[in-house]
Amino acid sequence: MRNDIPLLIASRRETGESGTFEVRDPGDESVAGLCPAASPAQLERAVAAAEAAFARFKDSKHDERRALLHAIADRIEAHAEELAELVTREQGKPLPLARFEVGGAAAWARHAASLDIPETVLEDSEERRIVLCHRPLGVVGSITPWNWPLLIAIWHLVPALRAGNAVVMKPSELTPLSTLRLVELVNEVAPRGLVNSVSGGAEIGSRIAAHEGIRKLVFTGSTATGQAIVHAGAGNLKRLTLELGGNDAAIVLPDADPDAIAEGLFATAFLNMGQTCAALKRLYVPESLHDAIAERLAGIAGRQVLGHGLDSGTTFGPVQNPVQLAKVEALVADARARGGRVLCGGERLARDGYFYPPTIVTHVEDGARLVDEEQFGPVLPLVRYRDLDEAVVRANRSELGLGGSVWGQDIELAERTAARLECGTVWINSHAEVMPHVPFGGAKRSGVGMEFGVEGLLEYTQTQVVHRKK
């Protein structure tokens, strides 16, 4: 494992002026690598470098930007195994899932290259021609989380570049290595200073949020941090794209077939060990199907092989960090105290690493922390319901509204039920399917703005209306 992954500022490699900090491997608690800690002065230099690069790049041709994104995808693919191992060592997910993440990053870059930035003619009369245009914004700041460190970095980076902006990236201090390596690879093909990296803790993140030279900030993470970013960015009225917390509810309809849906329910609830914003977090099940679905989910959970992500045969990795593990433990303890029944799992494994097995909890209701709070870990509560209208009301009671889903055979009923859920994306007979051509964003306190597709791309632009008198 490399211990010399640098910061990239104005396309120059730099060590951290605030020293280094350890990045822990959640699979065995060893040191996965040392990360440079950026100083406030380095952040200032990174923003200045991005501003200078933007002055040159903002007038670039669309084909030049497309070529850059394809070149970035080429670099990712050329270093795919290296990047996947970095992701596994710092994040914990099994290597096949890390390879999926790396492949998704390259594919996302290529899709962004294919997008057109539209110009819309609003009027073309004898008197005037009016065109709605989209111009680049300037320097974009990116703050990424620890659950999908490489893929979410790409989600932030490639639309910014496609729109003609420059970027300053700060990865989570828990999983910075793969993102810093990505920026290093990007700088092999990008214009000087166009993409810069800084790393560190909350102080650097706060400075990015408040920086007057950063015109837009894109952040993926908790609702509480997102709220702080809104306040910090008010000074220069930053454009914001915030993908925040989710406590996604799924409703199983009374006509659902437990055998047909169990694998899909489990896969989307425990995706990345449950550490996915749009994962299924609460499952509302009719009384008539409750026991059958609970039994099948527990059976699937029991077949998982927990282990280090680099070990052959591992299907289920650790929780990423001890703070998140402690929260999962506390939520399950609260559920038990309220009469909840743990069908499988429910205890941290007695071994090195932050391992918590996939856990199914029944006999819990709204009001339990495990139902009301986003667990962001390998635990799924099953909540019984008697009446479908009641289930919809309970699903909508959360202040969060990222995603939701409905599972059943009566598609018309499923579509009517889906339309009643208060969330940014609702799936029918699936969950957590996020695709580069489909806009994605949260309702209520789950976010501001959109990502992906043309709608997400245009969030990185300034709308300009051009009137020409004839």
What residues are labeled active site? 243, 277
Report the C-alpha gap between 13 and 16 in whole angstroms: 10
Report the C-alpha gap between 417 and 388 in whole angstroms: 9
Return the structure tokens found at 56. 């040159």
- Helix, strand, or coil here: 163? coil
Of 205, 173, 168, 161, nearest to 183 by C-alpha is 168
Report the C-alpha gap between 403 and 276 in whole angstroms: 11
CA–CA distances in Å: residue 351 to residues 174, 270, 338, 385: 21, 21, 28, 38
Residue by residue, DSSP assigns 77-127 as: HHTHHHHHHHHHHHH---HHHHHHHHHHHHHHHHHHHH-----EEEEE-SS
Judging by beta carbons within 10 Å of its beta carbon (0-12, 13-18, 19+), is residue 79 exposed, middle or buried?
middle
Of 245, 241, 252, nearest to 217 by C-alpha is 241
Report the C-alpha gap between 35 and 180 in whole angstroms: 9
